[in-house]
Structure 1
C-alpha cells in the first residue's frame, strides 16, 4: 500500500477499539506498518465491542499492514518484549509511537461517577494511572532508545482537557496533567536528538462506549446527559484523531511543535482536513459549536465558525498560578 507514510513503522497502544483503533486505521491507510497492542486478541467479555483481531482485519480490508501484539501495559516485561520484537522485525526502526492504552474507561463511567476522591478506594488511583500515565512513560523510554540512534521519530501521548481543568475526578485529572507534562519535559531532553514528543487532545469522540452508554441510552433524551449527548452527536469519529496523527507524522517541520499540547480540531484547521464523514466536528474552542450544544441554536446560526476562544484565554481561565 502506497501513501505518505509508506515505509514508516508505528506502534499504537490500546488499539482494540475507540481512538486507538481510529489512529491505527489511518496510519495503515497512509501506508505505514502498524503494530497494535491490547490485553487480549479477542475480548473475553462478549459485551465489549472491538478487539485487536477486528482492528487488524479492518486494516487488511483497507489494504494496509497491521501486526496485532497481545500486551498488558501494566506489565513492564511485556512492554519490553513488544519493543524488542519491533526492533528485531524492523531492523531497529521505529518512526511513531502513539501512547493511547488506557484501562479505566469503564471505571470512570461506572460506580466512580460523581464520587469524590476520599469516597473512592485508594487503589482507584492505580486503576486509572498505571496503564495510562505510568504505561505511557515506560513505552516512551523504550521508544526513545530506538529513535535516538536514528535521530528521528515522533512520540504522541493521547490526553484530554482534563489535564487543564477539572474533569471526571481527581485521579483522572492528575493523570492527564502528568501525561501533558511528560510530553513537554521529554521533549526538552529529546530535542537535541531530533526526536519530537507532543500531547494530543481529541475532542468529544463518538467511541463505541460513548455510543452505547450515552448516545443510545434512554436518559440521553433529557437533563444533563442530554446536553453531553448533543456535544458527542456533533463530535468526532475515532479516525479524526488518526488523521491528525498522520499529518503530524508526515510534517517535515514537526520539531517546531515538539513539547506542545495540540488539539485535533486545531490541527484540522492547520492541515486542512475534515473528519471521515466530511464534517467539521464539535470544537470546544469554536463559539458557534458551544452555542449549538448549549441550547442556543438560533444564536449559533448567526455566528461564523471562525470565531474561536483563544488559547491564551483558556490558559488564563484555568491558570493555577
Structure 2
C-alpha cells in the first residue's frame, strides 16, 4: 500500500525500463485484442519490441455482436507505432477451423510462439446481474459460457503446440478477479462460471506445460477503465475521475495500460516460471516488477475490494493507489 497522493500532482510517465526492447525477437499472440485489456497488452508487448499477432472479430468491414467501433486493424497499427510489429488476423475463436488456420499462419511465418495471451471475451452485453439462474435468459447465459470457455479451450488446443517448440513459453489466461476475489459470488451464475473458468484453465495448463519449460498463469486487471466502461460513465481517460461521484469505487480504477505492463513484465522475466499455475493481478505484479499506471500510481483494486468493499475497512481508494 502506498501513501495517499494528490492525483493532480502526479505527472504521466512510463515505468522505469519500459522503453528497453526486452522482448525484441519474441513472437506473441494476443487473442481478443480488439479493445480494452487485450489491446493494451498487445501494445505494451510491442513497446518492448515483440512481433505481436492480434486477433478479434471486429474489423473495418464488420462489427461483432459487441457493437463497438474499435477494430483489430487499429490495434495492430498501435502495436507498430509503439515500436513492435503488429499483425492483424481477424479471427472468431469459436470457430476451430479459423483458429487452426491462425496457428498455421503463425507457424509458417514464425515457426514458433513465445507468448500466448487468451483474452477472448465480449460477453458484457449478455450479463443479467441480480437474476437467479431460473430467471436468467438461458440463451444469453450459454452464449456467455461459449465466449469465455470454449474460445479459450479452442485457442489453447491449436496454439500451445507452437508455444512448446522451445523452453520459456508464457501462456496468460485473462479473467476478471483473482482466485481469492472470486470466492465472492459474482451475482450471476453464468458470469461467475465465465470468470472462474480461466483461473482453473491456467492451473491445468500449468501442469501440462511445465515439462516443456513453459509457464501458464491467470491474470486480472482491477476496475478497468476500458473504452466501454468510460463510455458507460460518460467520461474519457482525460477526465475519468468525474465518474467517481456516480460510482465512488471507480476511484480505484486503472487504465488498460496497467495490466498491459503486467503482461510485458511477465514476458520479459527470465524467472517467470516461479508464477506457474498462479492467479495474479495487475496490482500484485506492479509491486513485484515496479511498473506504474499511466498517472504514476500503483492501484491495487483486488486488495481495495477485499479490505474496504467486502471487508468493511475504513479507508479511501487513494490509500490503495
Class of the TM-score when normalised by the shorter of the 2 chains = 0.7 to 0.9
Aligned with 1:73 (options 82, 93, 114): 93
Is the 1:282–1:289 Cα contact (8 Å) retained in structure 2? no
Deviation beyond 4 Å, 4+ runs, structure 1 = 225-228, 286-289, 303-306
Q: Deviations over 1:161-188 (max 9, x none)?
A: 2743211411111122221111111111
Indicate yes or no: 2:71 matched with 1:59.
no
Is the 1:12–1:35 Cα contact (8 Å) retained in structure 2? yes
Aligned with 1:145 (options 136, 158, 161): 161
Equivalent position SS for 2:32: coil
**TM-score using structure 1 length:** 0.82
Deviation of 1:274 (Å): 0.3
Q: C-alpha distance in 2, partners of 1:57/1:287?
A: 35
Is the 2:32–2:38 Cα contact (8 Å) retained in structure 1? yes
**Ranges in structure 2 where 5+ consecutive residues have no aligned partner:** 1-18
Find the counterpart in structure 2 of residue 177 from structure 1: 196
Alignment of 1:158-197 (within 5 A): 158-161=174-177, 163-197=182-216
Q: C-alpha distance in 2, partners of 1:248/1:181?
A: 19
Is the 2:78–2:86 Cα contact (8 Å) retained in structure 1? no
Find the counterpart in structure 1 of residue 144 from structure 2: 128
Alignment of 1:47-126 (within 5 A): 48-90=68-110, 92-108=111-127, 112-126=128-142
Aligned with 2:55 (options 37, 48, 71): 37
Query: Closer, same or farther in 2 for the Cα pair 1:214/1:136, shift >3 Å?
Result: same
Is the 1:93–1:146 Cα contact (8 Å) retained in structure 2? yes
**TM-score using structure 2 length:** 0.82
Find the counterpart in structure 1 of residue 10 from structure 2: none
Q: C-alpha distance in 2, partners of 1:148/1:230?
A: 45
Query: Closer, same or farther in 2 for the Cα pair 1:62/1:206, shift >3 Å?
Result: same
Deviation of 1:23 (Å): 0.5
Q: Deviations over 1:232-281 (max 9, x none)?
A: 34311111111000111111111111101011100000111101221222
**How large is the RMSD of aligned CA atoms in angstroms?**
3.1
Q: C-alpha distance in 2, partners of 1:175/1:287?
A: 20
Equivalent position SS for 1:243: helix
Find the counterpart in structure 1 of residue 278 from structure 2: 260
Q: C-alpha distance in 2, partners of 1:228/1:263?
A: 26
Indicate yes or no: 2:282 matched with 1:231.
no
Aligned with 1:28 (options 35, 46, 54): 46
Is the 1:104–1:128 Cα contact (8 Å) retained in structure 2? yes
Deviation of 1:47 (Å): 6.3
Q: C-alpha distance in 2, partners of 1:228/1:196?
A: 40
Q: Deviations over 1:195-248 (max 9, x none)?
A: 11100011100001111113549xx99xxx968833234311111111000111
Is the 2:114–2:163 Cα contact (8 Å) retained in structure 1? yes
Is the 2:257–2:294 Cα contact (8 Å) retained in structure 1? yes
Count of residue pairs the alignment pairs up? 293
Find the counterpart in structure 2 of residue 317 from structure 1: none
Deviation of 1:105 (Å): 1.6
Deviation of 1:2 (Å): 6.5
